[in-house]
Chains A and B, each alone.
Chain A
Amino acid sequence: MKILIFIFYSLILSLALSGDELDDKLLLAEKFVDGNPSEPLKFIESKAVESLKDPQLRDSLEEKILSSLGTANSRRSKDFLCRMLRIMGTEKSIPIMKTLLSDQESGHMARYVLASMQFEEAGAALHQSLNTVQDKLKQGIIDSLGDIRYKKAVPDLIKLLDTASVANNATRALGLIGGDSTMNHLLPRLSKTTGKSYRCTVQALLRCAEIYLEKGNKDKALSIYDRFTKSGTDPYVILAGLRGAAKVNGESAVPLLTEAIKSGNNELANGAASIIAELKGEDIGSKLKSLLESAPANMQILLIGSLSEREDKSAIPSITKLTESENLEVRLSAIQALGKIGNGSSVIPLATIASSTSGHERNVSRSALSNLKGNDVQNALKKHLQESLPEIQSELVRAIATRAESTAMNQLMILAKSNTPEIRKEALRGIGILADQSHLDEILMLLLDPKEESDRDDIESAIAYSFRRISNKKIQTDALTKALEKADEIAKPSILSLLGRDPNEQSLQLLISALKETESIQLAAIGALTKWPDHGPANDLLKIASKEKNPNKDTALNGYIILSSKSPNPTLSYRKALELNNSTATAKKVLAGLGQSGGIQSLEIIKPYLENSETSNEAALAATQVAKRIKDSHTATVRTVLTAILKSNASESAKNGAADLQSELDLYKDYILDWRITGPYSVKEKDAKYVFDTALAPEKDSKSVRWEKFKTKSKSERSLWAIELDSILGPEANAAAYAMTKIWAPENLKINLEMGSDDHIKAWLNDEKIHESFSNRSLEPRQSIIPVTLSKGWNMIILKVVNTSGPWGLCCRIRGRDGNPVDGLKIESK
Chain B
Amino acid sequence: MQKQIKKSNRRNFLKKSAATVPLPLFIPSSAFGANDRINFAGIGMGGRGRGDLNSFLGFSEIQTLAVCDVVQSHAEQAKSAVDRRYGNNDCKTYVDYREIIMRDDIDAVLIATPDHWHAKIAIEAMTSGKDVFCEKPETLTIREGQMMRDTARRFGRVFSGGSQRVWGDYNWFHRMIYGGAIGEIKEAWVNVGGPSGECYLPPEPLPNGVDWNRWLGPAPWRPYHPALTRGGFRPFRDYSGGGMTDWGCHGFGGALFACNLHETGPVKITPPDGKDVQQLTYEFANGIKIYHGGGWGGLLSFRGTENEIPFRNNSKKRPNPPPIHIPNYKGQGGLSGDFIHCVRSREKPFRDIERAHRTATHCHLGNIAYWLKKEIIWDPEKEEVIGDPEVSRWIDRPKREPFTIG
Binding site for B on A (CB under 8 A): 34-35, 38, 41-42, 45, 49-50, 52-53, 75-76, 79, 83, 86-88, 105, 107-109, 111-112, 115-118, 136-137, 139-140, 143-144, 147, 168-169, 172, 195-196, 199-200, 202-203, 206-207, 210, 229-240, 243, 259-260, 263, 265-271, 273-274, 277, 298, 301-302, 304-306, 308-309, 329, 332-333, 335-337, 339-340, 360, 363-364, 367-368, 371, 689, 693, 774
Interface string of B134-164 (1 = CB under 8 A from A): 0000000000000000110011110000000
List 21 A-B residue pairs with CB atoms under 8 Å apart, sorted by A's residue number.
Answer: A34-B201, A45-B198, A52-B372, A52-B374, A83-B198, A86-B393, A107-B401, A108-B401, A136-B402, A137-B401, A140-B398, A143-B398, A169-B404, A199-B127, A235-B8, A260-B1, A273-B17, A308-B20, A335-B26, A337-B20, A340-B23
- From residue 1 to 50 of chain B, which have CB atoms closer than 8 A to chain A? 1-2, 4-8, 11-15, 17-20, 23-24, 26-28
Complexed CA–CA distance, A268 and B374 (Å): 49
A147 touches B15 (CB 8 A): no
- Which B residues are in CB contact (< 8 Å) with A304? 17
B390 within 8 A of A: yes
- Which A residues are in CB contact (< 8 Å) with B156? 236, 239-240, 243, 271, 274
Complexed CA–CA distance, A196 and B397 (Å): 24
Residue of B202, B373, B399 with most chain A CB atoms under a 10 A cut-off: B399
A172 touches B406 (CB 8 A): yes
Complexed CA–CA distance, A75 and B390 (Å): 25
B398 touches A360 (CB 8 A): no
- Which A residues are in CB contact (< 8 Å) with B373? 49-50, 52
B87 within 8 A of A: no
- Determine how close the nearest CB of chain B comes to the CB of A327; give it in whole angstroms: 12
Complexed CA–CA distance, A309 and B20 (Å): 9
* B166-174, B226-234, B289-297 - interface stretch: B226-234
A144 touches B19 (CB 8 A): no
- Determine how close the nearest CB of chain A comes to the CB of B299; give it in whole angstroms: 17
A143 touches B401 (CB 8 A): yes
B86 within 8 A of A: no
Residue of B nearest to A337 (CB): B19
B390 touches A88 (CB 8 A): yes
Complexed CA–CA distance, A207 and B372 (Å): 32
- Determine how close the nearest CB of chain B comes to the CB of A62; give it in whole angstroms: 13
Interface of A is mostly: helix
- Which A residues are in CB contact (< 8 Å) with B226? 693
In the complex, besides A139-B404, A203-B151, 8 extra interface pairs with C-beta distance below 8 angstroms are A34-B202, A108-B401, A196-B102, A200-B127, A239-B155, A335-B26, A336-B19, A360-B24
Residue of A34, A42, A79, A308 with most chain B CB atoms under a 10 A cut-off: A34
B8 touches A38 (CB 8 A): no
- Determine how close the nearest CB of chain A comes to the CB of B367; give it in whole angstroms: 13
Which residue of B20, B203, B397, B401 contacts A333 across the interface (Cβ within 8 Å)? B20
Binding site for A on B (CB under 8 A): 1-2, 4-8, 11-15, 17-20, 23-24, 26-28, 98, 102, 127-129, 150-151, 154-157, 198, 200-203, 220-223, 226-227, 230, 232, 346, 371-374, 389-390, 392-394, 396-402, 404, 406
- Determine how close the nearest CB of chain B comes to the CB of A245; give it in whole angstroms: 12
B5 touches A268 (CB 8 A): yes
Q: Which 9 residue pairs spanning A and B have beta carbons closest together? A: A305-B17, A140-B401, A270-B15, A35-B202, A308-B19, A332-B26, A38-B200, A116-B393, A236-B129
**Given A41-B200, A236-B156, A267-B8: A336 and B102 within 8 A (CB)?**
no
A195 touches B102 (CB 8 A): yes
**Given A240-B154, A693-B226: A336 and B15 within 8 A (CB)?**
no
Which residue of B8, B12, B222, B389 contacts A76 across the interface (Cβ within 8 Å)? B222
Residue of A nearest to B388 (CB): A52
- Which B residues are in CB contact (< 8 Å) with A243? 154, 156
- Which B residues are in CB contact (< 8 Å) with A329? 14, 26-27
- Determine how close the nearest CB of chain A comes to the CB of B215; give it in whole angstroms: 16
- Which A residues are in CB contact (< 8 Å) with B1? 229-230, 259-260, 263
Residue of B nearest to A38 (CB): B200
Residue of B nearest to A108 (CB): B400
- Determine how close the nearest CB of chain B comes to the CB of A368; give it in whole angstroms: 7
Complexed CA–CA distance, A362 and B26 (Å): 11
Complexed CA–CA distance, A731 and B373 (Å): 35
**Given A240-B154, A274-B346: A139 and B220 within 8 A (CB)?**
no
- Determine how close the nearest CB of chain A comes to the CB of B292; give it in whole angstroms: 18
Residue of A116, A363, A367 with most chain B CB atoms under a 10 A cut-off: A116
- Which B residues are in CB contact (< 8 Å) with A117? 389, 393
B20 touches A108 (CB 8 A): no
Complexed CA–CA distance, A83 and B222 (Å): 13
Complexed CA–CA distance, A808 and B203 (Å): 30
- Which B residues are in CB contact (< 8 Å) with A368? 23
A203 touches B19 (CB 8 A): no
Residue of B nearest to A79 (CB): B220
- Determine how close the nearest CB of chain A comes to the CB of B143; give it in whole angstroms: 8
A302 touches B17 (CB 8 A): yes
Complexed CA–CA distance, A329 and B14 (Å): 11
- Which A residues are in CB contact (< 8 Å) with B24? 360, 363-364, 367
Residue of A nearest to B12 (CB): A266
Which residue of B102, B374, B398 contacts A116 across the interface (Cβ within 8 Å)? B398
Complexed CA–CA distance, A88 and B28 (Å): 61
Complexed CA–CA distance, A230 and B123 (Å): 25
- Determine how close the nearest CB of chain A comes to the CB of B387; give it in whole angstroms: 12
A364 touches B127 (CB 8 A): no
- Which A residues are in CB contact (< 8 Å) with B157? 236
- Determine how close the nearest CB of chain B comes to the CB of A261; give it in whole angstroms: 10
Complexed CA–CA distance, A45 and B14 (Å): 57
- Which B residues are in CB contact (< 8 Å) with A268? 5
Complexed CA–CA distance, A41 and B198 (Å): 10
Complexed CA–CA distance, A211 and B57 (Å): 41
Residue of B nearest to A311 (CB): B19
- Which B residues are in CB contact (< 8 Å) with A271? 156, 346
Complexed CA–CA distance, A139 and B17 (Å): 44
- Which B residues are in CB contact (< 8 Å) with A260? 1
- Which B residues are in CB contact (< 8 Å) with A236? 129, 155-157
Which residue of A75, A203, A210 contacts B406 across the interface (Cβ within 8 Å)? A203
- Determine how close the nearest CB of chain B comes to the CB of A59; give it in whole angstroms: 15
Residue of A nearest to B13 (CB): A266
- Determine how close the nearest CB of chain A comes to the CB of B144; give it in whole angstroms: 11
B5 touches A139 (CB 8 A): no
A301 touches B14 (CB 8 A): yes
**Given A35-B202, A35-B203, A239-B156: A333 and B17 within 8 A (CB)?**
yes
Residue of B nearest to A693 (CB): B226
- Determine how close the nearest CB of chain B comes to the CB of A159; give it in whole angstroms: 19
- Which A residues are in CB contact (< 8 Å) with B129? 234-237
Complexed CA–CA distance, A277 and B398 (Å): 39
B151 touches A263 (CB 8 A): no
Residue of A nearest to B344 (CB): A270
- Which A residues are in CB contact (< 8 Å) with B5? 232-233, 235, 238, 263, 265, 268
**Given A169-B404, A270-B346, A336-B26: A206 and B154 within 8 A (CB)?**
yes
- Which A residues are in CB contact (< 8 Å) with B198? 38, 41-42, 45, 83
Residue of A nearest to B232 (CB): A689
Which residue of A112, A200, A298, A340 contacts B19 across the interface (Cβ within 8 Å)? A340
Complexed CA–CA distance, A523 and B273 (Å): 79
Which residue of A49, A273, A689 contacts B15 across the interface (Cβ within 8 Å)? A273
Complexed CA–CA distance, A296 and B156 (Å): 25
- Which B residues are in CB contact (< 8 Å) with A269? 15
B13 touches A108 (CB 8 A): no
- Which B residues are in CB contact (< 8 Å) with A274? 15, 18, 156, 346
Residue of A nearest to B23 (CB): A336
Complexed CA–CA distance, A92 and B217 (Å): 30
Complexed CA–CA distance, A578 and B36 (Å): 61
- Determine how close the nearest CB of chain B comes to the CB of A278; give it in whole angstroms: 10
B400 touches A140 (CB 8 A): yes
- Determine how close the nearest CB of chain A comes to the CB of B104; give it in whole angstroms: 9
Residue of A nearest to B394 (CB): A116
